[in-house]
Amino acid sequence: MDFFSQQDRARRNTRYLVVLFILALSLIVLLVNALVTAFLWVGGDYNIYVGGTGWKGYLALFSWDRFAIIGLAVVSTVGFVSLVRWLQLASGGKAVAESLGGRRVLRQSADPYEKRCLNIVEELSLAANMPVPALYVLPEERGINAFAAGVNPTDAVVAVTRGAALQLTRDELQGVVAHEFSHILNGDMRLGIRLASLLKGITFIGDVGHFLLRMGAYGVGRSNRRSESSAALPVVGLGLMIIGWLGSLAAGFIKAAISRQKEYLADASAVQFTRDTSGIADALKVIGGFVPGSLVHSARAPEMSHIFFGEVRHRLWEGFATHPPLDRRIRRLDKNWNGQFIQRSEVRYATEPLSANDVQTGVGRAALVAAAMANVALPDEAAIATDGQTIIEDAEFSQDQRVTEMVAENDLLGETVEQIPEVLHNAVLEPLGATAVALALVTARRQDDTLNAALTVLKEKAARGQEELVARLLPKVSSLGPGQRFPLMASAMPALKSMSTPQYREFKTTLLSVIQSDGQIDLFEWCLFQLLRHYLDPEYLRVENSRPRYRHMAKVRAPLRQVLSVLAHQGTGDSARAFALACEDLKLSGLQLLPLAQCSVAEFSRGVHTLADCYPLLKPRILKAMALAAADDGEVCPVERELVVAVAAVMDCPLPPELALS
C-alpha cells in the first residue's frame, strides 16, 4: 500500500467533501427561505401583497434581499458551529476519545487485557516507524469496535472498546489495531475530523428547530388567546426540524460516500502490517457472530461513526452505512470463507488468565515485527486500483510461516533490542524515568568540562529526584550503541505523554539547557530534541502544523542540497557518490555537494523544516533519496538511520515499511 498516495487521495477527498458540503448547504438555504416565506404567508395578512392568495400569493412574497439575508444568516450559523466543533476536535485525538467516554490506559495497568492492547500498539508503532500513540479503552462498551483519532500522527490516539479487548484473540486484536494504524498513515484522521465538524454545522439547523418547537408549544400553553403568529412559531420549529432531518440525511450520504472506500483500503493495509489475513478477517467474523456486534452506545458515537472500525448503530438502509457490509469485507480478506460467523462465548470480566506471550512487554516483539516488515517485498501502486486485493493475496501465508520469518529476522534487530539493559526498559515505563533517560542520553556523550557543565545544569534545573536518577542511569546509557537509542525513546513515548503540562514545560526547558550547556548542538542532540518536540508538543501545547506549499522539487533545491550533503557526510563511503545518487533519484541536475565545513546543524535544521512544507507526494521521494544515499556504501549505519528517522518525523511523514532502514 502506497501510504503517501493515500494521503494525497485523502486531500482530494477533502475537496470532494467541501463540494458535497456546499451543495448540502445550498439546499438548506433554499429550504429555510421557503420556510420563512411560508411563515410570512401563513402568519401575516397575505391579502395585502400583490398577487392574492394561493401559490401566486406565496411566490409574491419572495424577496431577493430577504433571500440574501437569510442565506448569510444560515451560512454564518453553520460556519460558526462547524468552526467551534473543529476547534474542539482539533485539539487532538485525546479530546475525541474522552468525548466518547474513553479512559487512558497507562503502562502501569494491572489489567492483563489492557496490557495486551498496549503491547500490540507498541509492536505496530515500531513496525510503522512512528511514535507510540496513546491508547484509550471505552470501558462501558460491550460491542467490538475501535477507532483512531487525531489531526496528524503526532497527536493520534488509538481506542478500543472493552468488548474488543475481552472478546478478541491477540492476532484478531492485532489486525483491528493495524487497521486503525493505516488510517493514521493514510491521512484519514484529519479528514474524519473535518467531516464531523462540517456535518455538525448542517445538523445544527435541526437543533434550532427543536428549540423553537418547544418554545412555541410552551408559549401557546401559557397564552389564553392564541395569535396567528404564536401559532406559527411551532410550525417554523417543526419545519426547521424537518430541514435538520434532511440535513442529517445529507450528512449520512456524505459520510457513506467518503468513508466506505477507505475502509477497504484500511483492511488491506492491516494485512500489509501484520502479513496475515486471518487476524482481521477473524475479527470481522467474530463481530458477525457476536450479539452486541460492533454497536457503541455513547451518545456521540453516531456523530463520529465514520472513524470507527465497524458500524456503531444498526442501519435500516444500507445507503446510510458508513462501512461496507461485513460479508463483503470478509470475502475480500478470505476468498474461501464458508459464510459462517464465529460464535464465541462472551467474556464479561477480565478474570480469564492470558498467556505470558500475551502480556509480555511489547518492545522485544515490536523489534521482530519491525525487522520482518523492513525486508518484505511489497506490491506496487497497482494494488490500490483493486482496493487492496493484490496486497491481500500477496500476504496469504500461514501463521507458522509468519513466525518463521520473524524469527529469521531476529539477527537483524532483535539482538540489538535485547542488549538494552533491563533497568532502562523499566525506567521508561513511568514519566520520571523516561525524562531521566532522555537527559542521560545527552549527558552521557559529554566528557570533562562539557560533562561538568551538563551536570551543573541538571543540579540547577532538574526536577526533584531527576538529577539522582540521571546519575544512576548514566553508566547504562553510556553503554548504548547508536542503534539502540531511538528504539528506547520510542518505547518511552507513552510515559512522556502522561506528564502534566507544567512537568513537560519544565522537562523541555531542562533538556534544551543541557543540550546548549557546551555552547553547540550536534546532530544527535538535534535529532533527539526534534523527535521529542515534534511528538510531544501537540500533546501539551497549541502548535501550528506545516502546510503544503511546495509542489515541485525545483522549489526546494537549496534545502535539499543542505540536507543531502549532511547525510552524505555521515556515511563511511564516498560522500560525493552518495550525494549524486540521491540527486539522480530526485532528477535534480546541477547540485554540488557542500563541503563538510558548510554543513552546520542550524542550516540543516532550517532545510528540514522547509522540506516539511512540501506536498505529501514529494515527501516519500525525498526520504527514498535519503535512504539511497545512506545505503550507498552497502550499509546503513545507525547514525544515518537516526538522521533519516528524525527528518521523517519533522516532515510529519512516517516511514512506511518499504522505506524502513534496518
> Is the CB of residue 162 less than 8 Å from the CB of residue 290?
no
Query: pLDDT at position 352, please?
Result: 59
| Distance in angstroms (rounded) separating the CA atoms of residues 245 and 27 | 13
Q: Are residues 560 and 641 in the same domain?
A: yes
**Which structural domain, as residue segments, surrounds residue 575?**
553-659
Kindly report the number of other CB atoms within 10 A of residue 110's CB atom: 7
As for how many domains the chain has, the answer is 3
| pLDDT for 381 | 32
DSSP summary character for residue 469: H
Contact 315, 115 (CB under 8 A): no
Q: Is residue 140 part of a domain?
A: no
Residue 42 to residue 627: CA distance in whole angstroms: 72
On whether the CB atoms of residues 524 and 445 are closer than 8 A, the answer is yes
Instruction: Give the cell for residue 46.
Output: 397575505
Do 644 and 571 fall into the same domain?
yes
Contact 311, 322 (CB under 8 A): yes
Given a contact cutoff of 8 angstroms between Cβ atoms, the answer to whether 565 and 599 are in contact is yes
Whether residue 339 is contained in a domain is answered as no
Report residue 100: phi and psi, to 5°.
Answer: -95, 10
Residue 443 resides in a domain: yes
- One domain, residues 532 and 558: no
Other C-beta atoms within 10 Å of 151: how many?
Answer: 21
Do the Cβ atoms of 416 and 367 come closer than 8 Å? yes
d(CA 177, CA 271): 11
DSSP per residue, 340-407 = PPPP-----STTS---HHHHS-HHHHHHHHHHHHHT-----THHHHTTTHHHHHHT---HHHHHHHHH
Spatial contact of 98 and 88, defined as CB atoms under 8 Å apart: no
Q: d(Cα 1, Cα 394) in Å, to the nearest integer?
A: 12
Length of the chain: 662
Closest CA to 270 of 662, 551, 659, 657: 657
Answer yes or no: 180 catalytic: yes
How far apart CA 468 and CA 464 sit, in angstroms, is: 9
- Report pLDDT for 396: 42
Cα separation, 25 vs 59, in Å, equals: 22
Nine-digit cell string for 238: 417543526
The pTM of the full predicted model, rounded to 2 decimals, is 0.64
Residue 201 lies in a domain: yes
Q: Are residues 58 and 206 in the same domain?
A: yes
Cell of 270: 492491516
* pLDDT for residue 230: 52
307 occurs within a structural domain: no
Contact (CB, 8 A) for 112 and 353: yes
Q: Which residues pair with 137 in a beta bridge?
A: 103, 160
CA distance 329 to 280: 10
Predicted local distance difference test score (pLDDT) of residue 634: 74
Whether 573 and 630 map to the same domain: the answer is yes
Cβ proximity of 389 and 333 under 8 Å: no
What are the grid coordinates assigned to 662, written together? 534496518
What is the phi-psi region of residue 161: left when phi exceeds 0, alpha when psi lies from -120 to 50, beta otherwise?
Answer: beta
Q: Of the candidates 180, 211, 246, which is a domain's last residue?
A: 246
| Domain identity same for 526 and 614 | no
Q: Round to whole Å and give the CA distance between 173 and 164.
A: 7
Residue 7 CA to residue 188 CA, distance in Å, equals 8
The three grid cell numbers given for residue 445, joined into one nine-digit string: 556523550
C-alpha span between 295 and 138 (Å, rounded) = 12
Contacts of 396 (CB under 8 A, 6+ apart): 277
Q: Are 461 and 601 contained in the same domain?
A: no
Which residue numbers in the chain have pLDDT < 50? 1-4, 6-7, 10, 45-51, 220-226, 228-229, 361-416, 656-659, 661-662
Shared domain check, 557 and 473? no
Sign of the four-CA dihedral 603, 608, 613, 618: positive
The span from the CA of 311 to the CA of 306, in Å, is 8
Nearest to 145 by CA among 158, 154, 156: 158
What are the strands of the beta sheet with 146-149, ordered from one edge? 103-104, 134-138, 157-161, 146-149
Query: Residue 635, Cα to own-chain centre: how many angstroms?
Result: 32
Helices H / strands E in the chain, number of each:
29, 4
Residue 523 sits in the same domain as residue 609 = no
Is residue 59 included in any domain, yes or no?
A: yes
Q: Are residues 524 and 651 in the same domain?
A: no
Same domain, 505 and 577: no
CA nearest 563: which of 643, 654, 491?
Answer: 643
DSSP-assigned states of every residue in 515-561 = HGGGS---HHHHHHHHHHHHHHHHHHS--PPP---B-SGGGGHHHHH
> Domain end: 246, 269, 287, which one?
246
In the prediction, which pLDDT does 359 show?
A: 53
Judge contact between 283 and 145, C-beta under 8 A. Answer: no
Distances (CA, A) of 501 to 91, 96, 490, 542: 14, 19, 20, 12
Q: Is residue 43 part of a domain?
A: yes
Residue 508 within a domain: yes
Q: Which of 122, 123, 180, 467 is catalytic?
A: 180
Angle at 408 between CA 402 and CA 409, to 5 degrees: 95
- CA gap 427, 56 in Å, rounded: 80
Write out the H or E segment, with its range, that includes residue 132.
none
C-alpha cell recorded at residue 301: 458515537
Domain boundary among 246, 268, 284: 246
Residues 576 and 634 in one domain: yes
Q: Measured between alpha carbons, how far is 450 from 447 in angstroms, rounded to an integer?
A: 6
Question: Torsion angle, CA of 176/182/188/189, rounded to 10 degrees?
Answer: 70
